[in-house]
Structure 1
Amino acid sequence: MLLRIFTEPQQGADYTTLLRVAKATEDGGFDAFFRSDHYLKMGDVSGLPGPSDAWVTLAGLARETERIRLGTLVTAATFRLPGPLAISVANVDDMSGGRVELGLGTGWYDEEHTAYGIPFPGLGERFDRLEEQLEIITGMWDTPSGKTFDFEGAHYQVTGSPALPKPAQRPRPPIIIGGVGAKRTPRLAARFADEFNVPFHSIEETRAAYERVRAACENGGRDDSSITFSAAQVICCGRDDAQLRQRADAIGRSVEDLRENGIAGTPAEVVARLAAFGEAGAERAYLQVLDLNDLDHLALLASDVLPQV
């Protein structure tokens, strides 16, 4: 199983902090560094110094890392127009030498939209916009150089686009779609996703979501082996119970809660929990690290967990 480090910078992290974590991710041998795409803190934290733009910071990290893959889990379709988003991601992919992945979703956090003047339509329309964005972004990237791209949708229209620039990866950067929706999410994943991710759900719910996507692939005539299945979980690991509790306290969670609703324990317990997700079908795990100042946590995961999975 590939392990990826997943961060939530809106909770309080500047670029320098993200760079330290990304460097530790690369030095530790992890597969990728991902970040959320949010503009407002959640819960009882200061959120200082304030939000950072996902694709601006990933562009910086693209130039200051060498190996790890970089991406969002996930960018909200409400945040950006599809054409400019296709340009931004292609630019960062080129800047990284072809290491970028785009996680794209409907958007869900109403308050951040209100706080920064971003329209927030109802869920049905957000799904409609997400589907059109996926069509436009993949269509632009797949359009041969020298040709133009057109699209006529209910929400977006594209006419005579040169569909430039092209990303470094060909045919395009991987697309990640996630969630546990029963109908539209599996259908969109079967049509567009290179990877399907289930965030913060139980092993049983994760397995069920994978099966819905596999069924949608079968209905759509796609081989489900062409999709990578992944899971995202909060991680809290300690060499012993005292260190585990110290780390849980630092992120305002109880060890008991983290064991039930995340991945928590000693390295051996973390490995066993990851194996259980693997048995449910997960091929990658995004380990959500909430204390971005605790680089020793990453070092422990790198030395005592990563070699065993």
Structure 2
Amino acid sequence: MELRIFTEPQQGADYDTLLAVAKATEDLRFGAFFRSDHYLAMGGDGLPGPTDAWVTLAGLARETSQIRLGTLMTAGTFRLPGPLAIQVAQVDAMSGGRVEFGLGSGWFEEEHTAYGIPFPEAKFARLEEQLAIVTGLWETPVGERFAFDGTHYQLADSPALPKPAQPKVPVLIGGLGAVRTPRLAARFADEFNIPFASLEDSDRQFQRVRDAVSAQDRKPADLVYSNALIACVGRDDAEVACRARAIGREVPELKENGLAGSPAEVVEKIGRYQEIGASRIYLQILDLHDLDHLALIADQVQSQLS
């Protein structure tokens, strides 16, 4: 089981804070630093304001050397697919081939209104075309041209450059949709991620994805299956309660819906996610100034996982 660190900078974090978390992530040997892609806080004042996901990752690409870098998930409504393919390929080159690409349809209408971003209809259909374009641009051999004639996007005579540093940038797709999401994952994904879901819901969705992958004549075992879960770990009850208060949450709710409690409790619950097929957990860390939290998880949780 691999543990990765997942941040929500729209809740209030500048680049220097994110850099400190990313460096701690690397020093403590977590597998990756990921961040959300939002421009508006969901509760609270969000000070000092949002940071852009791919600008952040470009900076971190030059200031880290080992950890994987990515998004859960890049909002498809924020960027056109052609320029997005260029951005991600460039950051991958800047990192020496450490980028992973999560793409979602975009859903938070208020942030679009706040920053003048169109919030289109048919977001899922657009997402399917976006994935086809981005991956198609990357896969087009150097010297050949790429074209796409879709309902929402059209590309003609594209040189399909630049290429990522990696032969294949891993593509992440996620969600709990029962039909379209598994079908999209079966076509494009290297990893399928379920955000903030119970064991029962995760088990059900993983099976839907495995079935869809089989129907696409792929092997279900070729995909990585992962969960994103909030983390709130303490050496004792008092420390758990203190960390819960710091993020405005209640301990019972965190234990029910995330990975909260003592290291032993968290290791046991991670084991249950592993039993249903998850091999990777993204730990949502909301207090980005509490680097001791990361150190505790590394020392007493990550060290016990196989």
Q: Same fold (TM over 0.5)?
A: yes
Give every structure 1 segment of 4 or more consecutive aligned residues whose post-TM-superposition deviation is greater than 3 Å.
none
Instruction: Supply the AA of the counterpart residue of 1:24.
Output: A
- SS across alignment from 1:93: helix
Matches within 5 A, 1:70-89: 70-89=69-88
Q: 2: CA distance between counterparts of 1:224 and 1:90?
A: 27
2:117 corresponding residue in structure 1: 118
| Structure 2 residues not aligned, in runs of 5+ | none
Say yes or no: does 1:140 pair with 2:137: yes
Say yes or no: does 1:191 pair with 2:187: yes
Matches within 5 A, 1:197-212: 197-212=193-208
Say yes or no: does 1:259 pair with 2:258: no
Instruction: Supply the AA of the counterpart residue of 1:283.
Output: S
Q: 1: CA distance between counterparts of 2:281 and 2:86?
A: 28
Say yes or no: does 1:166 pair with 2:163: yes
Identical residues among aligned pairs (%): 67
Say yes or no: does 1:4 pair with 2:1: no
Count of aligned pairs between the two proteins: 305
Q: CA deviation at 1:117?
A: 1.0
Report the RMSD for the aligned CA atoms in angstroms: 0.6
1:248 corresponding residue in structure 2: 244
2:299 corresponding residue in structure 1: 303
Instruction: Supply the AA of the counterpart residue of 1:290.
Output: L
Q: CA deviation at 1:121?
A: 2.2
1:293 corresponding residue in structure 2: 289
Deviation readout 1:40-90 (Å, 9 max, x if unpaired)? 0001x1201111000000000000001000000000111100000000000
Say yes or no: does 1:223 pair with 2:223: no
1:279 corresponding residue in structure 2: 275
Q: CA deviation at 1:220?
A: 1.4
Deviation readout 1:232-289 (Å, 9 max, x if unpaired)? 0000000000000000000000000100111101011110111011011101000000
1:131 corresponding residue in structure 2: 128
2:64 corresponding residue in structure 1: 65
- SS across alignment from 1:236: strand
Provide the TM-score with structure 1 as the length reference.
0.98
Deviation readout 1:95-131 (Å, 9 max, x if unpaired)? 0000000100011111011111111123xx1001000
Q: 1: CA distance between counterparts of 2:154 and 2:90?
A: 22
Q: 2: CA distance between counterparts of 1:242 and 1:116?
A: 41
Q: CA deviation at 1:219?
A: 1.3
Q: 2: CA distance between counterparts of 1:247 and 1:228?
A: 30
Q: 2: CA distance between counterparts of 1:286 and 1:88?
A: 23
Q: CA deviation at 1:221?
A: 1.1
Q: 2: CA distance between counterparts of 1:183 and 1:80?
A: 25
Instruction: Supply the AA of the counterpart residue of 1:138.
Output: T
Provide the TM-score with structure 2 as the length reference.
0.99
Deviation readout 1:121-167 (Å, 9 max, x if unpaired)? 23xx1001000000000000000001110000000000000000000
